[in-house]
A and B are shown apart, each in its own frame.
Chain A
């Protein structure tokens, strides 16, 4: 481009010279012709052609200048030079303009879908814009950069196409979209929000599954020592006879217990296979990154949700407007749900009308507050009671466990009490929550929070029992450790005495006495719990929903009362229960995945099947909620619960990793004092010395404590900033509110003055009536103005007092101020044209004077 510019410049200079030479001779240059030429250049669409042609002419001309001196020749030349000069200038400008236009059109194309036009118009505009871009885009390249420009344009086109294809692909990859939409149309978006949550969980679990299987289980299976090569990978002799029985496998004993699905199977060899894969290290890191990834994902989702929500949902400015314009759920496609929705909208309208009418009466609010406090007290009592009950039962079971020959009830007392509580407490909470009279969306949150607190008790007992178990196993282990040593020693000694010439045959791995391996026990506990949870959930759905629905549907033909409308009826989909079940299940997975790497696989299967199963169950045997309500899109509440559970499940795992000694004869960390020693070992053996040094410095408490302090300070600072922003936001909102009020008042006053002056006119001259009727006739154009004019007339009937009173709002609203301009009376005209800042006080006072 530079080259060309230089070229043009020299060329221009040259022609200026010629122009000077010939100027005297050709003054009568017809302007019209030039104009024509100009038009031609503008019309010529492709400016590059213009440049090219001008270049050709240029060459010709330089030759011609040298050759001939004839007048007409010069004349022609001169015209040409002017033309080309102009053309050059034009084409530069034109290029810029064209470029702008092309950019504009491109922008238009990309935002076409946001235009509120008809499709036909959109299509034609789109086609035109595309044709324009197509035509001129190539023209924009200049000189040497032309090829590059063309390349860029081509790549941009390819990129757009690729992006579109990728988007197509992405939407195809989102599973179950249709299923969820179907559920949404039948049950409203609150039920669908559960399924969306379930799908999200499935995605997270797939990633965890990939991590664990790809980095732990598959390397172990491919490169680790095979089954039966060492004691920890072999079923003990005593169990071998029954190891393949289904009843044993069902309890996750036998062959399953000694498989790669559980912690105990893994060897403590530092590196495995020809890849020198550091399995213990990988095991540890994967265990940590499962938590790391989950934390990051949950928090990122929460942050995104928080960004998405517009925030001011608690604005009380537009209660009725929002109710009117946004209460219909446009996704409903089922007559039954629609009926419920109509009913709930009607009730909500009635409620807010009643609220509006009785907003001055305080006793209602007091009563409601009292009821809410009462409900909370009742529920806290319930929670405390159930907490104490659990504590009591657990204590008792600890004493039971030491006794011999105890009955079935004593053995299972904890489980029975827990499931009874889980069965009866949620409905009780729901009954109490009826006192509070919240909006169902808020009510759902409260209900979720309360059941969550109840379930935490469940978790607590489970962990307590588990910790007892682990401690027991740890003491047992110490004993067995000695026995194992002793046995091995004895064996080799005795064989050495018997035939000293042969090295003794190695002891069969199945016969070696071994420790209880508490990690595998914990893993099995979690797997069992998960599986039983799955079964209970599915059976509950089958019996509680499906069979009930079948019974109600078919027995209704021969029953004394109406089953469908009466007592058993169909089940509603229990959102809170299902969400909490999902969240607690995920907590189990997080806790257990360190001890049972296969657990995540089971969970993925569970989520997959429950997606289909629950979708089917919902569609086949549930009815929509009586008060259908919309779920807010940003359900950070679920996420908050999930985060809490994640944190709670992180604690015990971190505790066992950091402080409990691993079993001596099973698992990847056997032989170490603590599981976390594996990091130290790797750093010392695999990294150069200075890394170890750096690490030891970093791990120094003198550095960690200031770092934590810094983080706390940063959090404090950010929190303060956020608060300040919030404050500023609130202030702005208040300001806007005030401004709005002011504006309203101003208009009110203006309308009042209009009325006032009008009344005055009525008083003074009867001829003003004509003005009144005129304004009435203009009023009729706007619908709803009838009332306004009526009110105005009534005001006119009692002039003095009516005008001084502040009129009801609709009067002022229905009278647009500009009408007063049309009125003939001078007073009105004055008030209509007077500036907005007119002082209402004096105007109002006028009729009284």
Chain B
């Protein structure tokens, strides 16, 4: 890649490497992925930090997110404006947290935010219902959904306030055998 130097300054690349779990090559690859979403919007020179933001529609069309039931939440959580429109920084941030190298604590924190649909710092029953419906594409009956949600709260709610706080969530999810990536 001969034009590597022109996209980012070496300092920028170093800073990105410090802030994410990626290597230099991966950062550049991600940049190209980002740029491929809207080549006419994203300049090839990022050394002077252009203020570019890609709309949610473009972000969610990526194959990584296209089939994910939580794509909108993911984009919202990671975007600066909370509406799914992403700058390159947000973009890198998202992939860094979702990458294999990120520690479980960090993932748990962001997972909590993703499942917290109404942003009130608690996962309450309505959040759970939304989650179940997204996971099953509304194929469970409302009774089943509410049963599942009650079960979840019963299992994971340690302080009995009827909703899951971040601590409850971490306590539960860090023990899960499947919570690896």
- B33 at interface by CB-CB < 8 Å: no
| Pairwise interchain contact A338-B175, C-beta atoms closer than 8 A | no
- B58 at interface by CB-CB < 8 Å: no
Assuming A118-B80, A353-B147, A353-B148, what are 13 further A-B pairs, CB within 8 angstroms? A168-B24, A171-B23, A312-B175, A322-B178, A331-B181, A333-B63, A333-B67, A334-B67, A342-B137, A782-B163, A809-B154, A810-B153, A813-B154
Bound-state CA distance A256–B154 (Å) is 71
| Pairwise interchain contact A740-B158, C-beta atoms closer than 8 A | yes
| Pairwise interchain contact A814-B176, C-beta atoms closer than 8 A | no
**Contacts A167-B23, A318-B175, A632-B177 given: A783-B90 contact, CB under 8 Å?**
no
A-facing residues in B1-59 (Cβ within 8 Å)? 15, 17-21, 23-26
Bound-state CA distance A490–B7 (Å) is 84
Among residues of A, the one whose C-beta sits closest to the C-beta of B178 is A326
| Pairwise interchain contact A743-B158, C-beta atoms closer than 8 A | yes
Residues of A within 8 A of B (CB): 109, 112-114, 116, 118-120, 122-123, 126-127, 164, 167-168, 171-172, 185, 309-310, 312-313, 315, 317-322, 324-328, 330-335, 337-338, 342, 345-346, 349-350, 353, 356, 630, 632-633, 740, 743-744, 747-748, 782-785, 788, 809-810, 812-816
Q: Which residues of B contact A317 (CB under 8 A)?
A: 155, 175
**Contacts A167-B23, A310-B175, A346-B140 given: A744-B160 contact, CB under 8 Å?**
yes
Q: Which residues of B contact A356 (CB under 8 A)?
A: 147, 151
**Contacts A112-B19, A119-B19, A813-B162 given: A324-B175 contact, CB under 8 Å?**
no
Q: Which residues of A contact B120 (CB under 8 A)?
A: 783
Among residues of A, the one whose C-beta sits closest to the C-beta of B17 is A164
Residue from A119, A171, A318, A327 in contact with B93 in the complex, judged by beta carbons closer than 8 Å: A119
Bound-state CA distance A809–B157 (Å) is 11
Q: Which residues of A contact B18 (CB under 8 A)?
A: 109, 112-113, 126
Q: Which residues of A contact B177 (CB under 8 A)?
A: 309-310, 312-313, 322, 632
Bound-state CA distance A497–B31 (Å) is 89
Bound-state CA distance A174–B126 (Å) is 44
Q: Which residues of B contact A342 (CB under 8 A)?
A: 69, 135-137, 139
**Contacts A171-B26, A325-B115 given: A118-B90 contact, CB under 8 Å?**
yes
| Pairwise interchain contact B66-A333, C-beta atoms closer than 8 A | yes
How far is the CB of A202 from the nearest CB of chain B, in Å? 20
| Pairwise interchain contact A168-B103, C-beta atoms closer than 8 A | no
Ordered nearest first, which 7 A-B pairs have the shortest CB separation? Answer: A119-B89, A338-B67, A313-B177, A784-B125, A320-B151, A814-B162, A813-B162
| Pairwise interchain contact A123-B19, C-beta atoms closer than 8 A | yes
Q: Which residues of B contact A320 (CB under 8 A)?
A: 148, 151-152, 155
How far is the CB of A365 from the nearest CB of chain B, in Å? 19
Bound-state CA distance A171–B29 (Å) is 14
| Pairwise interchain contact A321-B155, C-beta atoms closer than 8 A | yes
How far is the CB of B168 from the nearest CB of chain A, in Å? 9
- Please, what's the 1-or-0 string for B96-117, where 1 marks a CB less than 8 Å from any CB in chain A? 1010001101100111000100
What are 21 pairs between A and B in contact, CB < 8 Å?
A116-B109, A118-B89, A127-B15, A318-B155, A318-B176, A321-B173, A324-B132, A324-B135, A326-B173, A326-B178, A330-B68, A335-B66, A342-B136, A349-B132, A350-B144, A356-B151, A782-B163, A783-B120, A810-B150, A810-B153, A813-B154
Residue from B21, B140, B150, B152 in contact with A350 in the complex, judged by beta carbons closer than 8 Å: B140
Bound-state CA distance A810–B135 (Å) is 24
Among residues of A, the one whose C-beta sits closest to the C-beta of B26 is A171
| Pairwise interchain contact A816-B161, C-beta atoms closer than 8 A | yes
Bound-state CA distance A784–B137 (Å) is 23
| Pairwise interchain contact B25-A321, C-beta atoms closer than 8 A | no
Among residues of A, the one whose C-beta sits closest to the C-beta of B24 is A168
| Pairwise interchain contact A346-B172, C-beta atoms closer than 8 A | no
How far is the CB of A271 from the nearest CB of chain B, in Å? 48
Q: Which residues of A contact B115 (CB under 8 A)?
A: 325
Bound-state CA distance A312–B67 (Å) is 31
**Contacts A123-B89, A312-B175, A333-B64 given: A349-B19 contact, CB under 8 Å?**
no
| Pairwise interchain contact A327-B15, C-beta atoms closer than 8 A | no
- Residue among B111, B118, B136 with max Cβ neighbours from chain A (10 Å): B136
- B131 at interface by CB-CB < 8 Å: yes
**Contacts A126-B18, A325-B176 given: A332-B89 contact, CB under 8 Å?**
no
Q: Which residues of B contact A185 (CB under 8 A)?
A: 63-64
How far is the CB of A848 from the nearest CB of chain B, in Å? 25
| Pairwise interchain contact A168-B160, C-beta atoms closer than 8 A | no
Residue from B69, B87, B90, B96 in contact with A113 in the complex, judged by beta carbons closer than 8 Å: B96
Bound-state CA distance A338–B67 (Å) is 6
- Residue among B96, B118, B139 with max Cβ neighbours from chain A (10 Å): B139
| Pairwise interchain contact A353-B144, C-beta atoms closer than 8 A | yes
**Contacts A312-B175, A324-B132 given: A330-B98 contact, CB under 8 Å?**
yes
| Pairwise interchain contact B19-A113, C-beta atoms closer than 8 A | yes
Among residues of B, the one whose C-beta sits closest to the C-beta of A320 is B151
Q: Which residues of B contact A318 (CB under 8 A)?
A: 155-156, 172, 175-176
| Pairwise interchain contact B148-A349, C-beta atoms closer than 8 A | yes
Residue from A120, A168, A315, A353 in contact with B23 in the complex, judged by beta carbons closer than 8 Å: A168
Q: Which residues of A contact B136 (CB under 8 A)?
A: 342, 345-346, 349
Q: Which residues of A contact B19 (CB under 8 A)?
A: 112-113, 119, 122-123, 126
Q: Which residues of A contact B110 (CB under 8 A)?
A: 116
- B75 at interface by CB-CB < 8 Å: no
Residue from B109, B154, B173 in contact with A325 in the complex, judged by beta carbons closer than 8 Å: B173
Bound-state CA distance A3–B131 (Å) is 69
Residue from A126, A743, A810, A815 in contact with B15 in the complex, judged by beta carbons closer than 8 Å: A126
Among residues of B, the one whose C-beta sits closest to the C-beta of A346 is B136
Q: Which residues of B contact A809 (CB under 8 A)?
A: 154
**Contacts A123-B89, A326-B178 given: A321-B156 contact, CB under 8 Å?**
yes
**Contacts A321-B172, A342-B137 given: A813-B158 contact, CB under 8 Å?**
no
How far is the CB of B108 from the nearest CB of chain A, in Å? 10
Q: Which residues of B contact A122 (CB under 8 A)?
A: 19, 93
How far is the CB of A187 from the nearest CB of chain B, in Å? 13
Bound-state CA distance A301–B147 (Å) is 42
Q: Which residues of B contact A327 (CB under 8 A)?
A: 135, 178
Residue from B80, B125, B144 in contact with A120 in the complex, judged by beta carbons closer than 8 Å: B80
How far is the CB of A163 from the nearest CB of chain B, in Å? 11
Bound-state CA distance A109–B15 (Å) is 10
Q: Which residues of A contact B132 (CB under 8 A)?
A: 324, 349
Bound-state CA distance A112–B106 (Å) is 12
**Contacts A342-B135, A350-B140, A813-B161 given: A168-B154 contact, CB under 8 Å?**
no
| Pairwise interchain contact A114-B103, C-beta atoms closer than 8 A | yes
| Pairwise interchain contact B152-A783, C-beta atoms closer than 8 A | no
Bound-state CA distance A695–B28 (Å) is 59
| Pairwise interchain contact A810-B103, C-beta atoms closer than 8 A | no
Q: Which residues of B contact A331 (CB under 8 A)?
A: 181
Residue from A109, A171, A349, A783 in contact with B124 in the complex, judged by beta carbons closer than 8 Å: A783
How far is the CB of B88 from the nearest CB of chain A, in Å? 8
Q: Which residues of A contact B96 (CB under 8 A)?
A: 113
| Pairwise interchain contact A328-B160, C-beta atoms closer than 8 A | no
Q: Which residues of A contact B159 (CB under 8 A)?
A: 747
| Pairwise interchain contact A326-B179, C-beta atoms closer than 8 A | yes
Q: Which residues of B contact A346 (CB under 8 A)?
A: 135-137, 139-140
Bound-state CA distance A729–B153 (Å) is 26
Among residues of A, the one whose C-beta sits closest to the C-beta of B23 is A168
Q: Which residues of B contact A353 (CB under 8 A)?
A: 144, 147-148
Q: Which residues of A contact B155 (CB under 8 A)?
A: 317-321
| Pairwise interchain contact A330-B160, C-beta atoms closer than 8 A | no
| Pairwise interchain contact B20-A113, C-beta atoms closer than 8 A | yes
How far is the CB of A8 from the nearest CB of chain B, in Å? 39
Q: Which residues of B contact A120 (CB under 8 A)?
A: 80, 89
